[in-house]
Structure 1
Amino acid sequence: MPRPGLPKLIATDLDGTLVRSDDTVSAFTHEVLDRVRAAGIRIVGATGRGPRLSSLTRSDIRAADFLVLAHGGWVYDVADPRPLRASRLSGPVLSALLDDLEASVGPLTVMVEALEHPGAPLWGTRTPDWRYEVVVEERTRSSCLAGDVIKAYACSASHDVDDLLAAARLVVPAEVASITQAGLNVIEICPPDVDKGTGLAVVAEAVGVDPADVLVFGDMPNDLPMFAWAGWQRVAVANAHPTVLAAADEVAGANDDDGVAVYLDRLLSR
């Protein structure tokens, strides 16, 4: 058990928060996270990355006890290959949703993530300015949406991502799909009731931790649901989106300055 005055569980976003702009995690950050775990505090990596990137995610946060993937749709205990949560969105529902959204904002470029095995390709049309290495298997939209998917990515040539997100939330009811953005110039469309807050709730229930004992770190709008859910402290990194900075209790250093690790190092030293 952690000593009094410390959280019982720490959840951190990865890209833009724990992971630096060069896609690396420093040795200092790994060392601090090892000390956090040794202090009896459970660690959760909470990311938009889908289960196809679980190996990379485990490498970036080696001390994690749990992984919350796909914005909360897939949840793993790292000691068990069977997911605690595995959510999918109906392809036909997604097709109708996209039709309604395009009627409002115009044409969209769409990719879907349908497969969970390591290194699985995305399907559809590669979105412009995608910054990460990924294999995109070109498919028609009808082919992509013939079955259920983990999530979809959509971008517009005429709308900024924040404007597209706002427009999508006006068009798409929350009971149909959960929509967010994680800094990739695309909105991400997930099953309903899927976000990092509901994903963390699965972990908290599994280990018997109250949200009041959870500390979270983040940088983008997809982190806001876990900021709303956690109660111990909500910490944004200095490079965070304005909405996340506004929702934070504290602001740590930027991801490129190992802000999460510096904050946790100080916390352990109190």
Structure 2
Amino acid sequence: MAAPLAYSLIATDLDGTLLRGDDTLSDRSRAALVRAAVAGAQHLVVTGRPAPRVRPLLDDLGSKGLAVCGQGAQVYDVDADRLLFSVTLDRELAETALGKIEAEVGQVYAAVDQDGVDGLTLIEPGYLMPHPTLPAVRVERRDDLWCEPISKVLLRHHALSDDELAEAARGAVGSLASVTMSGPGTVELQPCGVTKATGLALAAEYLGLSRSATIAFGDMPNDIPMFDWAAHGVAMANAHPELKAAADEITTSNEDDGIAVVLERLF
């Protein structure tokens, strides 16, 4: 009789975690995921990217089934190309939150991810995409950001660090929205109470899998709720100090196949 799986659900962030800096998956990491799948484990991408921005990567990964996108605001059915679950950020609240943040720190530059499987990423004048490989549409005025339902707002500041901007934003917006930091140059506002953990829990329930059978991998503070939910949280060597402090284990960096190092040990 085969030994029982230590973990039947493998939840991985993408940027800075599963993917290398050039947005590719190494052969070693791909082989480790295949080996885990053959053993019976399910791989679930849990990312801050919205569904439209993750679809080509999922195709490359050969990923089927579900993915958690938009910091947990979307549960995406890859095969059917549809959202099983989606939460939007109220646009009036988002605009009010931006005003409160700017009252504290001065001008910020904003972008939004629109809701839906074909939603666009819109960026206002002055906003620079932190991830240049992701497509975006530049609009003429901030008001144009609110033309369609959105899943989140992305913020940048010309002088403040990500940590400083995130701290100031949390103090300014209160319960209007949740503030997350998901990567270099990426501070975000999302619907209050929505995290990677809420999306992961919904996807796991849909798949019939439990938190006690889940191992999670990440690199940024937005992965902390996911680590808190999962049975075992693994931070990359390149992870933010806050996530390392919340992790059960620290592996090598994303450039050094940190996920594969752990999966090869487990499977």
Task: Say whether the fold is shared (TM-score over 0.5).
Answer: yes
Q: Counterpart of 1:247?
A: 246
Q: CA RMSD in A?
A: 1.9
Distance 2:243 2:203 in 1: 22
Distance 2:22 2:149 in 1: 33
Q: Counterpart of 2:259?
A: 260
**In structure 2, what residue type is equivalent to 1:224?**
I
Q: Counterpart of 1:161?
A: 162
Distance 2:32 2:149 in 1: 39
Q: Counterpart of 1:224?
A: 224
Distance 2:52 2:180 in 1: 19
Distance 1:57 1:44 in 2: 13
Whether the aligned pair in 1 keeps the contact of 2:81 and 2:117 (CA below 8 Å) is no
SS in 1 for 2:4: coil
The Cα shift of 1:131 comes to 3.2
Distance 1:43 1:151 in 2: 25
The Cα shift of 1:4 comes to 2.1
Gap change, CA 1:115 and 1:83, over 3 Å in 2: closer
**1:90-143 CA-partner distances (Å, limit 9, x unpaired):** 211111111111111111111111254458342423523623232332231122
**In structure 1, what residue type is equivalent to 2:71?**
H
Q: Do residues 197 (structure 1) and 201 (structure 2) align?
A: no
Whether the aligned pair in 2 keeps the contact of 1:66 and 1:78 (CA below 8 Å) is yes
Q: Counterpart of 2:58?
A: 58
Gap change, CA 1:105 and 1:38, over 3 Å in 2: same
Distance 1:220 1:244 in 2: 6
Distance 2:250 2:262 in 1: 9
SS in 1 for 2:120: coil
Distance 2:189 2:39 in 1: 37
Q: Do residues 138 (structure 1) and 139 (structure 2) align?
A: yes
SS in 1 for 2:14: coil
Whether the aligned pair in 1 keeps the contact of 2:252 and 2:258 (CA below 8 Å) is yes
**In structure 2, what residue type is equivalent to 1:180?**
T
With normalisation by structure 2, the TM-score equals 0.92
**1:46-75 CA-partner distances (Å, limit 9, x unpaired):** 111111213223035324542111111111
Whether the aligned pair in 2 keeps the contact of 1:17 and 1:237 (CA below 8 Å) is yes
Taking every aligned residue pair, what percent have the same amino acid on both sides? 37
With normalisation by structure 1, the TM-score equals 0.91
